[in-house]
Amino acid sequence: MPRTAVFLTIAAACLCAQPPAYRIAHRYRLGGEGGWDYVVPDPPSGRVFLARENRLMVVEESSGKLLGEVTGIDGAHGTAIAAKTGHGFATEGHGQSVAMFDLKTYQVLRHIPAAEDADAILYDAPSNRVFTLNGDAHSSTVIDPVEGKRIATVPLGGKPEYGVSAGDGKVYANLTDVSEVVEIDAKAATVTRRWPAAPCRQPVSMAIDAAHHRLFSGCRSGLMAVSDSQAGKIVASIPIGAGVDGAGFDPATGDAFASTADGKLTVIHEDSPDRYRVVQEIATPERSRNMGLDPRTHQIFVPSAEFGPAGGARRPPVLAGTFTLLVIEPAR
């Protein structure tokens, strides 16, 4: 083959291997009072669940239409969907509890005792259990999603932030105060392993590449740390923005994401399970540090708002009517 043809073949292969560029495709003005926390898409139903302090907003992904609200949530943080039971679950940070609600009517069915600072929450399909991550209590509450009853409490040995189900009977979580990753046996409801997240400090958000057993921990120290969950060690770290609170991984594109409060969504491509590189930084409004990913549509949902003066408060108030959901997707 001529040298020119070889060069063109290699160049074409390199172009094909390039990950897609992303853009802000939609801005859905939803309004409503209060701040927000976790953003949880539910791909099978095409809905996004947004925690808004005292309620969950349920939004149609394709249109940005507000489909309804789950009200009466005492300090809304996270949402878990157990579709085969017909139930959703929302952590109540102020109430130290979990609200179980009907996925069709959005009516709260009961409040399940959890623990102090019930924050993130996830559903593990293999065990058919719901796991809360209780920050100040340094524990996880395990819930039966059918009966809506607490099964067990798992001491974690540190303050958990977000976690993921690996789909193989294991649940993983970040421990932000001790900078560790912890592994939970979902069926036994016990901690089986832990390992340091260094050079990451204060790991908070988490995503997973289940096929390659890789965990992505977004760290407040300005890194995304990648763990090999089989070996129990960090294999890579990539720079991201400041004030991370959201992460995601899309197995179809091989792209990982980190959303940060400094107004940045960092796109990181997985060249191999141990090699990563930043391929794009998307400008987002400041304080837009949460995100949710729908791997079915490859869309990323990032909440934003305008804020008033802080006035000595921990966080400045959201100006009424300005809450907006950004939809970021691959450029076409």
Domains of the chain, with CATH numbers? 27-113+297-327 (2.130.10.10)
**pLDDT category, 7, cuts 50, 70, 90?**
very low
Which of 209, 254, 213 shows the shortest CA–CA distance to 232? 213
Statement: residue 2 has pLDDT above 90: no
Phi and psi at 85, nearest 5°, equal -95, -10
Exposed e or buried b per residue across 204-213, where buried means at least 16 C-beta atoms within 10 angstroms of its C-beta: bbbbbbeebb
pLDDT tens track for 226-264: 999 999 999 999 999 999 999 999 999 999 999 999 999
Q: Which residue has the higher pLDDT, 35 or 2?
A: 35
Reported confidence tier of residue 18, pLDDT bands at 50, 70, 90: low
What share of the chain in percent tops pLDDT 90?
A: 89
3-state helix, strand, coil in the chain (%, to 5): 5, 55, 40
What 210-213 contacts at long range (C-beta under 8 Å, 24+ apart), as own/partner pairs, is: 210/166, 210/167, 210/168, 210/251, 211/251, 212/270, 212/273, 213/166, 213/273
pLDDT in tens, 46-100: 999 999 999 999 999 999 999 999 999 999 999 999 999 999 999 999 999 999 9
pLDDT at 13 > cutoff 50: no
The answer to whether the predicted template modeling score (pTM) of the entire model surpasses 0.85 is: yes
pLDDT for 5 equals 42
Per-residue pLDDT for 266 more than 80? yes
